[in-house]
Structure 1
């Protein structure tokens, strides 16, 4: 994002649950070497990183406490079939892009079409701008695809009512997408990966915080670093650090039990398991021997090309 959200749309973003992520979704420079090294250690069977210190992973706790997104509520799913995406754009945004590719539009069009509202803007213009702004957050930060410039209009269907949008578990949606993208990168092409990579990177740096006192410029250095980290050196519960705890809003700490449940994460056609029982040390618990992971090979073959599927019933 080019700048912080305007105070004029703060109420809409808060109501929809996007205010905190809107405030932090700028200025993050990705480190391709670190991301590549992590993907090398990702296991798609367990959704965990295999390191000498043990299994660890990005969890709902990380999504909730870092991005401020809801992880306990209604799943983001539903039909993705629309006979006329242009009509959807006109109804909810007040404008229709020249190009709609399979339900996806260019984020550049959103930036060019919706100038920042001012005090003279009517309520409808502010609402339309807020929807366009959230679409940019989703497509550019929370769940970017490989293009980094397209966002699907299925998300717009969830922004008809901001209060209803605030009931959806956007945090679980972000994590399901990131899991799926890392699994695909592991299986097919490690050089191409979408999803919230800034979350992946910040998770790694928080848990390996002592290792980043110096800048690592060589991929081999990062590999060596990951291999040499002992269990004692790994920061299993970084959010217990007082310097970190103090900046986390109290409202995000009200329901800690929801952060380490073992559940399927759902995002329309995506179903990925949150296998927190394998990384209990990240929640301050003793880790027993993990059981066999859930087998989700068939689910990895499912995508949105099955347009007429009723995903909630599926």
Structure 2
């Protein structure tokens, strides 16, 4: 079975808040009462606080490999699980009921017109931004600048549109264009009084399902979607303390009386919800019974700084030293 390794992820927490050199969130400085009110009316205010400093790429990669297109679910050793609308509502606290939408396909000229009209920027500024973005897109850094400028001028509606556009594309509809935002999403915020009518949570879930579908393809090496939700769901339903890693990931020999058997969990890492690397072949030579006395926890000289680990003498992993316990 082909294993692609750890996938590239797209996580924009610092960029979302516009963290500057003094570690101060620029977004919050232009987060006026009106802009906050529009975000709250849309039901998207929780996205401002649903923040992980980072995401676990290895864990997300492992889960994406067991996603099945036909059932929209993860196939785990004990059965199927999936991210549900209840999970979205409970973890993100954004609305899962309401209207769906269909995005238009915009040309660069159409994108220029809508940005000029709805965000209050000049045509020259937009033309330069689209040129730099190589299509009907706008960079998130440019949108943050627009939010600041419109807020300073008191053009609160235009600031709110730019803010909401940037927010949804860096969170619930985060794609693989890195910092580029599709201008077509701006159509969702033309009528700010109606932003609360959309089923943001349901649409976010459909978007994440689609990103997981793409991630299952053999040549895909990255994953998009709202990975904060993905990671929060794993933490909620598959806590990491389900097993003692020091014990379960021990690799070596175990024995019962004179029966000696290899214990090689590195061949079934997916069972521990971890990324499966190419395992070594099982060892051919069984060590003398005198070397297999007990299983003990001790520091691993070959992995400084890793803390305690379980080690076995003469086992499949020849780097490990120590003794292995007899199984009664």
Q: Tell me, in whole angstroms, the C-alpha distance in 1 between the residues paired with 2:177 and 2:186.
A: 19
Q: Tell me, in whole angstroms, the C-alpha distance in 2 between the residues paired with 1:215 and 1:132.
A: 46
Aligned to 1:226: 273
TM-score by length of 1: 0.63
Q: Which runs of 5+ in 1 are unaligned?
A: 228-314
The question of 1:115 aligning with 2:148 is answered yes
Q: Tell me, in whole angstroms, the C-alpha distance in 1 between the residues paired with 2:181 and 2:244.
A: 36
Offset at residue 211 of structure 1 (A): 2.4
The question of 1:179 aligning with 2:215 is answered no
- Alignment length (residue pairs): 222
Offset at residue 112 of structure 1 (A): 2.7
Q: Tell me, in whole angstroms, the C-alpha distance in 1 between the residues paired with 2:208 and 2:191.
A: 26
The question of 1:31 aligning with 2:56 is answered yes
The question of 1:10 aligning with 2:36 is answered yes
Aligned to 1:245: none
Residues 103 and 73 of structure 1: is their aligned pair in 2 closer, same or farther, counting only changes over 3 Å? same
Q: Give the conservation status (yes or no) of the 8 Å contact 1:34–1:222.
A: no
* Residue pairs, 1:192-207, within 5 angstroms: 192-207=222-237
- Which one has more relative contact order, counting CA pairs under 8 Å at least 6 apart? 1
Q: Which runs of 5+ in 2 are unaligned?
A: 1-15, 18-24, 250-265, 275-328
1:85-105 CA-to-partner distances (Å, cap 9, x unmatched) read: 111001111114313244221
The question of 1:53 aligning with 2:78 is answered yes
The question of 1:138 aligning with 2:168 is answered yes
Residues 165 and 147 of structure 1: is their aligned pair in 2 closer, same or farther, counting only changes over 3 Å? same
Q: SS at the partner of 1:38?
A: helix
Residues 28 and 64 of structure 1: is their aligned pair in 2 closer, same or farther, counting only changes over 3 Å? farther
Q: Give the conservation status (yes or no) of the 8 Å contact 1:139–1:148.
A: no
Q: Give the conservation status (yes or no) of the 8 Å contact 1:105–1:153.
A: yes
* Residue pairs, 1:161-310, within 5 angstroms: 161-211=191-241, 223-226=270-273
Offset at residue 199 of structure 1 (A): 0.8
CA RMSD, 1 decimal = 2.9
1:39-96 CA-to-partner distances (Å, cap 9, x unmatched) read: 1111111110001121101111111222222211111225334652111001111114
Aligned to 2:138: 105
Residues 14 and 190 of structure 1: is their aligned pair in 2 closer, same or farther, counting only changes over 3 Å? same
The question of 1:22 aligning with 2:48 is answered yes
Question: Which of the pair is proportionally richer in strand?
Answer: 2
TM-score by length of 2: 0.61
1:266-303 CA-to-partner distances (Å, cap 9, x unmatched) read: xxxxxxxxxxxxxxxxxxxxxxxxxxxxxxxxxxxxxx
Q: SS at the partner of 1:63?
A: helix
Q: Tell me, in whole angstroms, the C-alpha distance in 1 between the residues paired with 2:192 and 2:73.
A: 34
Q: Which protein shows a greater Rg?
A: 2
Q: Tell me, in whole angstroms, the C-alpha distance in 2 between the residues paired with 1:166 and 1:175.
A: 17
